[in-house]
Amino acid sequence: MIQLHDKLKTTMIYVTHDQVEAMTLADKMVVMNGGVIQQCGRPLDLYDDPGNKFVAGFIGSPRMNFMDADVVQVQADQITLAGVGGTGGFNLPFKGFDPSIPKVQIGIRTEYVSLSDETNGAMSLPTKVAFVEELGDVTYIHTDLPSGERLVVRSHGKRYRGGQDCVAQLDISGALLFDEAGERIRPNA
């Protein structure tokens, strides 16, 4: 299909439910849900900067991780979250957060989470390995947080086994926030 598009040098519209196929073929893609356009743009723009939770969860394989959190304090340049993963709390840099929003969902992709055997900082969450997908060049470790939420981690190197207790380390540079309606909450510049 890509070679045909390059040969014809013309606009093509291709409809698919396979997000991997869409990301591979598209110069520009439109993500729809129930016949309603959710977001359109270049594939990697939608991956890196989804406008809502539906797009964030649809684009990418495996899908983005989501964790509920309570907003306990809002300051000019950061918010304090509690209950992340059922246990954790931390400060998240964020300018201009609306203090009337009491709950959020944190979205974080697998590449912004790592595992270790011990707590290494403020962005650490206890977790237990549910199962491991060893795919050759990459391993996905599916873990369960105390909240019951699933957290998938892309791993390179150390091997983990089902039932193993470990600690998830979050790189907050990749954390996105969504409101209870699933809309993206963006910081003010």
DSSP 104-168: EEEEE-GGGEEEESS--STTEEEEEEEEEEE-SS-EEEEEE-TTS-EEEEEE-SS---TT-EEEE
Secondary structure class of 175 (helix, strand, coil): coil
pLDDT tens track for 11-46: 778 788 888 888 888 889 999 999 999 999 999 999
pTM of this prediction exceeds 0.85: yes
Every domain range in the chain assigned CATH 2.40.50.140: 65-185
The torsion angles phi and psi of 68, rounded to 5 degrees, stand at -75, 150
The Cα 73–Cα 187 span in angstroms is 15
Cβ atoms of 81 and 68 within 8 Å: the answer is no
- Give the other-Cβ count within 10 Å of 24's Cβ: 12
Secondary structure class of 41 (helix, strand, coil): strand
Residue 48 has pLDDT above 70, yes or no: yes
Q: 65-185: CATH homologous superfamily? A: Nucleic acid-binding proteins (2.40.50.140)
- pLDDT score at 142: 97
R_g over Cα of the chain: 18
Residues with Cβ < 8 Å from 163, sequence gap 6 or more? 128, 129
pLDDT tens track for 56-112: 999 998 999 999 999 999 999 999 999 999 987 889 999 999 999 999 999 999 999
The Cα 92–Cα 173 span in angstroms is 9
